[in-house]
Structure 1
Amino acid sequence: MKKLTIFILGITFAFYGCKKEDLSKEIPSCIQESINQIAAGEVWNPPAKVYSFTYDNQTVYYFPPRCCDIPSLLYDKDCNLICAPDGGFTGRGDGKCPDFGDLAADQKLIWEDDRN
């Protein structure tokens, strides 16, 4: 019984001792403000997510389509809208960055709305 207790405690400390990578320091304040606005509103279906990618030699921030005919949004580090890579009525975004799906690299999930 003592060995089992020590094992469970060891697993617990290992699990809770692991630190989640803190990406908040890397997220530009304007992107964080957009995330805060989404989090303060109603829960999206599907839940909202924000990703970072490397695209066109820069870090960009991708907000996937909310639903149906709503386009995704792609921002640079200064929150300048680059394009809508996908979604919208055609599903192909606004056509301003048709190569995003092929050239975007280093995908990182930086935020996901975990509310129900």
Structure 2
Amino acid sequence: MKKILFISFVVFAITIISCSKDPDCIQNKIEDFKTATVCESAKIHKYKYEGNYYYAFNEEVCCCDMQSFWYDEKCNLVCTTGGIAPGINECDIPVDSLEFIETVWEK
């Protein structure tokens, strides 16, 4: 009986840990962003929409010229927001309808 409980606990723990990990390609983008950003208030936020996760690499809080780049779980660029030039906000997702999940990183 103890063996069954232990195995069940291990499987449950592995499931929880693996579900919360961001995809490898996103982890790579996060590491690149951390070293490349010059913005002192840069942030990366995680959102959810229709069962999919999206990551906003946000530098637009630093200056009106900066943009945020939005990636899906497969590291496809799906949206850009911010900046002062007209017509540069191109999104395949309704940014205003996304559910905020967490701040993945902030400087």
Mark yes or no: TM-score above 0.5: yes
The answer to whether the 8 A contact 1:60-1:74 is kept is: yes
State the TM-score, normalizing by the size of structure 1.
0.60
Any gaps of 5 or more consecutive residues in structure 1? 1-21
How many residue pairs get aligned? The number is 88
Q: Give 1 or 2 for the bigger CA radius of gyration.
A: 1
Larger fraction in helix: 2
State the partner residue of 1:74.
70
Any gaps of 5 or more consecutive residues in structure 2? 1-16
The Cα offsets for residues 34-88 of structure 1, whole Å up to 9 and x where unpaired, read as 221222235413x22111110243111111234321221110111000011x311
In the TM superposition, 1:1-116 aligns within 5 A as 26-41=21-36, 43-45=38-40, 47-66=41-60, 67-84=63-80, 86-90=81-85, 94-97=89-92, 99-101=94-96, 103-113=97-107
How far off its partner does 1:94 sit? 1.5
Sort the Cα spacing of 1:109 and 1:48 in 2 relative to 1 into closer, same or farther, 3 A: same
CA RMSD of aligned residues (A): 2.7
Letter in 2 for 1:69: D
Letter in 1 for 2:35: A
The answer to whether the 8 A contact 1:55-1:100 is kept is: no
How far off its partner does 1:98 sit? 7.0
The Cα offsets for residues 8-52 of structure 1, whole Å up to 9 and x where unpaired, read as xxxxxxxxxxxxxx89x511111111221222235413x221111
